[in-house]
Structure 1
Amino acid sequence: MKKVWLLIALFTGVKQLANAQNIDTIVKHAALSFMSGGPRVGLSVGIIKKGEIYRYHFGSSGTNQNSAPTDQTIYEIGSLTKTFSGRLLAQAVIENRVSLTDDIRKYLKGDYQNLEYHHKPITLKNLANWTSCLPDNLPEKPTLKAVPPDSQLFEARRFHDGYTRQQFFNDLHSIKLTAEPGSHLAHSNTAAQLMGFILEDIYGMSYEELLRRYVTGPLKMPGTFVTVPASKRALLSRGYNAKGMIMPEIPKDAGSAGVLKSSIADMVRYLGDQLSETNKAVKLTHQPTWGSPETLAIGLNWFTKTNFDGQREISGSGGTFGYSCYMAGYPAKGFGIVILTNENDNQASDAINDLAKTIYNEIYFTAAQRAELGFGFSRSINLLLKALNQNGFENAVKAAADLKHSDASFKLVEDDVNLFGYHLLNKGEKAKALEIFKLNVSLYPNSYNTYDSLAETYESLGDKVSAIQNYQRVLELNPDSHNATEHLKKLTGK
């Protein structure tokens, strides 16, 4: 596909705000930067700001080189499907059909003694908040035909298209939990699929029928499908990988874990419903059931956290063989953004997340504010930065301890400190970054990732001895670290 088509941009939508032209400029600039930053194909962006709707399209839907996406172009939305499933579970709770604390075996036919760990069972809540400890997919190790690498996803799709509900439940018997449900967060399509099957049995309706009754019907979302009908197939974009190859569609057995396809017009309506939170079931899906809202929590398949500017943020994302998507909302601001693209690679998910943040930041903050060193980081990071600018970065450990002692709300989260260190590193402030990574090691001495970041910084400074020592510490904490292994080979020649 010629790159010229990646630079086509169409702007549509209702734009009545005084700053509509400013939003157009921000989105166009950010989106064109995104489109030129990798093997992109097509992109649709939907924004809601105080009830006003903005929709934008770039590139190609992939049907042919001249077919730019439109409001009705259909994309696969992958794991964003899980938020729809969470909405249905919340509805069942509202109707007193289930309780989130119910043992899932209450709704299963047959004996599933294996679905507990040390007598603690998996609950419905665990299925919806990514803490079930179930494997990511069933079967865990499918037997696929030996095919070339570029054909493996096509073979996987053929296999899963024929993988039946009965086979799923047969394989469910073979699962052995290795941790207590609720103990940690881990993506699991198996959990989401199982939740869909349970809801179908409770209501005596198919997943698609449940969606029409409770979500897509009431919200008037005519372009959202489990299976795209023949009359709408021309609207379905083509999904691509990083090499520009057309990818297979999502397998049928993805079900309530990732089967949905939708348009930007429909997803903006869905986004608006999330922002208003007037529906009791919608509001329930946003209430944290695991984690801390200050840093990262999850409700019923919606992630929530406090953004760096103090705003409550809800978000979800998805990726399939050839598509990536992201949705984020800030209910108190009445602002939300949804991004759909028909390309997927190792960087696509992070890239559209960054695109959404860029648009949000440029709409709500001035260039001068965005240029500040601590912009985009938490209040605690900015308090630390102020102290270090006054007293020197070499005193980071003491400064953090003093702030914690004097301010009960001061809290440094591992990931935030790590990101701040890399932020400094990317600005060429290697010595300052080193002190931040040292601080993170002192705060989180049992985290292999803190040592990994410290080792990389020593390596960039030319201190091979310290780099080797820290990479070795990484392997002590995480023997499977590929990054540490490869860097040690390079540094030691062994």
Structure 2
Amino acid sequence: MRKIVLLVSFFILSFVGFSQQDNIPKEVKEYIQSRIDNQINASIVVGFINGDNVTYYSFGKTAIENGKEVDENTVFEIGSISKTFTTTLLALKVNSGEINLNDPVSKYLPKTVNIPTRNEQEITLKHLATHTSALPRMPSNFSPSDPLNPFADYTKEQLYSFLSNHTLTRDIGSLYEYSNLGMGLLGHVLELQSGKSYEELVIEHIANPLQMNDTRLAFTPAMKNRLAKGHSGLTETSNWDITTLGGAGGIRSTASDMVKYLQANLDSDIIDSKLHNAMALAHQSSFKSEEQKTEMALAWHIENGKFLMHNGATGGYSAMSAIDKGNKKGVVVLTNTNENVDAIAIKLMVPSYPLKPIKPSIAKLIIKEIETNGIERALALYRSTKSSNPNAYNFDENQLNTLGYQLIEQNKNDIALEIFKLNVAEFPEASNPYDSLAELYLKMGEQDLAIQNYKKSLELNPANTNAKDVLKSLNVTIEDVTVSKEMLQSYTGKYQLAPTFFITVTTNNGRLFLQATGQPKFEIFPSNYNKFYLKVVEARVEFNTNNKGKVDSMTLYQNGQIMPGKRVE
């Protein structure tokens, strides 16, 4: 689910006086149109608030084939923006005295559920609300019968089973790690505490007071009539029905409803005091990590100390929302394609932000060739086009990777396999193509080939927890690497990778740290005696010795680039 909420009686009167001047720049409109024209998105709807002015802009259709023109009343899935609804409900209950942010999660679950602990510390509601619970992104027993609607059959019994049998791998509250599981669990806790469903809570405390009649988990007949069909690439795909973990991403809404929510966040005078106070609590900074360059309110991500932001995505939709309370600006961007639209929202909030010219995905060309002339001709077309006209299309690794999964959803595993093989051949230093290839091999019963590729993926990105977990499930031993303090000390120093770009390596209490010019310091972890990786980004470093055995250089591997650096201090 990737990759907002609230309000009341003064609401209608407040909105009558808002002007309708067009505040969306021509550059943004042309950018949106180019995304639609190049079939990156099927449609995009924007709601932009600038002080007292509200502007909507819509382009595209509810479906690539035979769709209707979209507008601010078209219904989309908003994915993980739902998380801010969840924490607003939490804040309401905290302010009413019904619950406490520091309450342990176990207080609200059946006694038969054993919530994992670590070092005698328990997971609290605040940990769930700030993604610091140490719970993984998704439960390991998540195995949907329908991958096109993956959350529909995940039950609370499965949730309880996972929690009771899971072992935490790091200290609670120590790091930010995005967790759909954790936020879904928080929504479930609110259900148990109140005796009402998550949807009933959303409607009672947020949607009805704000007259957000098109904001629901389950479609009303009116919403169904105005639904934009979700798309994965060029293919129409299923809606996601998220029930047990609904608090993580189950809400559907419209741009007009979401604008109501954003306006309430920006102007406390248009809502009642209970909701205002809950919003204020949800906006407060609740976790900050200089190491991870992350600051969290309750579900909201705080950027540059001023913007509150959250995006979302499901199988066929993407969304982005942000507010700047100081300048009374807000934006929501909705699309019925699983292609990120964050840049549009950022541009409207930060006018200096550059929009990159749109290149059509090479996958669009390849899928047409597959359908017309078969996979072999399509592979040849990919290679010839990349060689002769490399700037005409987007050739990054995600294009083939997305195409491969699209083919899997169509039960074309043999063709998807060739696409994943091509991706590995084209991006031999990238971890994710090997991970995807391994996943498909495992799905096809080729366990040895799956293990081989998972190992390669892990070698290129030792922070790939998915590869580690799958290998362990296949009884493949993954040995932890330890490096002596003396050897760590030999790596310390300053390395020059460019005329004005240096990396400084230091040690502290048997741990190795890396700091690049103008950036925070990050810990790096060993995958071999001279090879280390970062957990905060997909990057790795290797220390090199001269013929006398002295460390004289390092190599940084990141984003497909190989950057050597000489030791200068």
Alignment partners' CA distance in 1, 2:552 and 2:43: 42
Give yes or no for contact 2:127–2:173 (8 Å, CA) kept in 1.
yes
SS in 2 for 1:257: helix
Matches within 5 A, 1:122-271: 122-138=123-139, 140-143=140-143, 153-154=147-148, 157=149, 160-242=151-233, 244-253=234-243, 254-271=245-262
Alignment partners' CA distance in 1, 2:162 and 2:537: 39
Instruction: Indicate how the Cα distance of structure 1 residues 38 and 153 shifts in structure 2: closer, same or farther if over 3 A, else same.
Output: same
Q: State yes or no: 1:343 paired with 2:418.
A: no
Match of 1:444 among 517, 521, 535: 521
Matches within 5 A, 1:296-307: 296-306=294-304
Instruction: Indicate how the Cα distance of structure 1 residues 467 and 43 shifts in structure 2: closer, same or farther if over 3 A, else same.
Output: farther
Residue range with higher mean Cα deviation, 289-298 or 76-85 = 289-298
Identity %: 26
Paired residues in the alignment total 371
Q: What is residue 290 of structure 1 aligned with on the other side?
A: 287
SS in 1 for 2:55: strand
Residue range with higher mean Cα deviation, 56-65 or 233-242 = 56-65
Residue range with higher mean Cα deviation, 328-337 or 446-455 = 446-455
Instruction: Indicate how the Cα distance of structure 1 residues 99 and 357 shifts in structure 2: closer, same or farther if over 3 A, else same.
Output: same
Instruction: Indicate how the Cα distance of structure 1 residues 78 and 100 shifts in structure 2: closer, same or farther if over 3 A, else same.
Output: same
Give yes or no for contact 2:319–2:334 (8 Å, CA) kept in 1.
yes
Residue 470 of structure 1: how far off its partner (Å): 0.9
* 1:454-478 alpha-carbon deviations (Å, 9 max, x no partner): 989xxxxxxxxx999414xx6xxxx
Residue 200 of structure 1: how far off its partner (Å): 1.2
Residue 65 of structure 1: how far off its partner (Å): 3.5
Alignment partners' CA distance in 1, 2:354 and 2:184: 44
Alignment partners' CA distance in 1, 2:349 and 2:38: 19
Give yes or no for contact 1:437–1:453 (8 Å, CA) kept in 2.
no
Alignment partners' CA distance in 2, 1:451 and 1:302: 21
* 1:178-222 alpha-carbon deviations (Å, 9 max, x no partner): 111111111111111211111112112111111122111111100
Q: What is residue 356 of structure 1 aligned with on the other side?
A: 345
SS in 2 for 1:70: coil
Match of 1:326 among 320, 323, 347: 320
Q: Which protein is richer in helix relative to its size? A: 1
Instruction: Indicate how the Cα distance of structure 1 residues 468 and 343 shifts in structure 2: closer, same or farther if over 3 A, else same.
Output: farther
- The normalised TM-score by structure 1 is 0.67
Q: What is residue 266 of structure 2 aligned with on the other side?
A: 275
SS in 2 for 1:46: strand
Residue range with higher mean Cα deviation, 330-339 or 284-293 = 284-293
* 1:365-406 alpha-carbon deviations (Å, 9 max, x no partner): 999xxxxxxxxxxxxxxxxxxxxxxxxxxxxxxxxxxxxxxx
Instruction: Indicate how the Cα distance of structure 1 residues 452 and 470 shifts in structure 2: closer, same or farther if over 3 A, else same.
Output: farther
Alignment partners' CA distance in 2, 1:451 and 1:45: 30
Over 6 Å off, 4+ runs:
364-367, 450-456
Residue 141 of structure 1: how far off its partner (Å): 4.2
Give yes or no for contact 1:50–1:334 (8 Å, CA) kept in 2.
yes
SS in 2 for 1:187: coil
Match of 2:307 among 299, 304, 313: 313
Residue 109 of structure 1: how far off its partner (Å): 1.1
Q: State yes or no: 1:80 paired with 2:63.
A: no
Give yes or no for contact 1:58–1:69 (8 Å, CA) kept in 2.
yes
Q: What is residue 58 of structure 1 aligned with on the other side?
A: 59
Q: What is residue 416 of structure 1 aligned with on the other side?
A: none
1:225 maps to a residue whose letter is R
Give yes or no for contact 2:44–2:58 (8 Å, CA) kept in 1.
yes
Residue range with higher mean Cα deviation, 26-35 or 64-73 = 26-35
Instruction: Indicate how the Cα distance of structure 1 residues 455 and 121 shifts in structure 2: closer, same or farther if over 3 A, else same.
Output: closer
Give yes or no for contact 1:30–1:359 (8 Å, CA) kept in 2.
no
Q: State yes or no: 1:28 paired with 2:17.
A: no
Alignment partners' CA distance in 1, 2:331 and 2:221: 30
Give yes or no for contact 1:323–1:341 (8 Å, CA) kept in 2.
yes
1:356 maps to a residue whose letter is A
SS in 1 for 2:202: helix
Alignment partners' CA distance in 2, 1:227 and 1:451: 36
**RMSD of aligned residue pairs (Cα, Å):** 3.5
Residue 359 of structure 1: how far off its partner (Å): 2.4
1:90 maps to a residue whose letter is A
Instruction: Indicate how the Cα distance of structure 1 residues 365 and 161 shifts in structure 2: closer, same or farther if over 3 A, else same.
Output: closer
2:70 maps to a residue whose letter is P
2:246 maps to a residue whose letter is G
Instruction: Indicate how the Cα distance of structure 1 residues 468 and 326 shifts in structure 2: closer, same or farther if over 3 A, else same.
Output: farther
Matches within 5 A, 1:363-442: 435-436=500-501, 438=503, 440-441=515-516
Q: Which protein is richer in strand relative to its size? A: 2
